């Protein structure tokens, strides 16, 4: 691994001058963002009315206490969504390299899908997606 890194760093096409365009772009972006933040601060209106300073809650008048108990199903579904959403991210490298990976890659992906399918069946059997209020 170290030899590969040293070969990459010491390759004939890699010099500090080749990073100059990236450095210039970073400086330009940071300068532009800073300039825009400063200029909007000075040029923007500064009318602070009572209505503007009031907390905005989606246009609905707020009522009650924010500390009311909430069903765990909302959080469970969110966690399951993240879990199965991350699964999709792992398909991207396979989709890009599926010809190079051949049958070994195909069976590895099938094993990966089967593990998640087993987890999904477990979730269904446990009733994690059944909502009863």
Residue 101 belongs to a domain with what CATH number?
1.20.58.1610
Single out the residue of 55, 119, 53, 46 nearest to residue 86, CA to CA: 119
105 CB contacts (<8 Å, ≥6 apart)? 94, 97, 98
What's the mean per-residue pLDDT of the chain?
Answer: 80
Domain for residue 84, yes or no? yes
Domain for residue 118, yes or no? yes
Query: For the chain, which residues score pLDDT lower than 70?
Result: 1-14, 56-62, 66, 133
Domain for residue 131, yes or no? no
Token couple for 3: 């030899």
Domain for residue 7, yes or no? no
What is the domain count for the chain? 1
Q: Which helix (H) or strand (E) holds 39?
A: helix 20-43
53 CB contacts (<8 Å, ≥6 apart)? none
Amino acid 88: pLDDT: 81
Domain for residue 3, yes or no? no
């Amino acid at each position: 691994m170290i030899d590969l890194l040293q070969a990459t760093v010491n390759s004939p096409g890699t010099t500090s001058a080749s990073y100059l365009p990236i450095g210039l772009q970073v400086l330009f972006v940071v300068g532009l963002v800073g300039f825009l933040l400063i200029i909007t601060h000075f040029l923007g209106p500064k009318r602070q009315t009572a209505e503007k300073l009031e907390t905005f809650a989606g246009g609905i008048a707020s009522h009650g206490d924010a500390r009311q108990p909430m069903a765990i199903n909302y959080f469970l579904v969110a966690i399951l969504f993240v879990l199965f959403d991350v699964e999709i991210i792992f398909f991207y490298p396979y989709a890009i390299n599926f010809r190079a990976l051949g049958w070994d890659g195909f069976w590895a992906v099938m094993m990966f899908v089967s593990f998640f399918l087993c987890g999904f069946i477990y979730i269904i059997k446990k009733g994690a997606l059944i909502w009863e209020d």
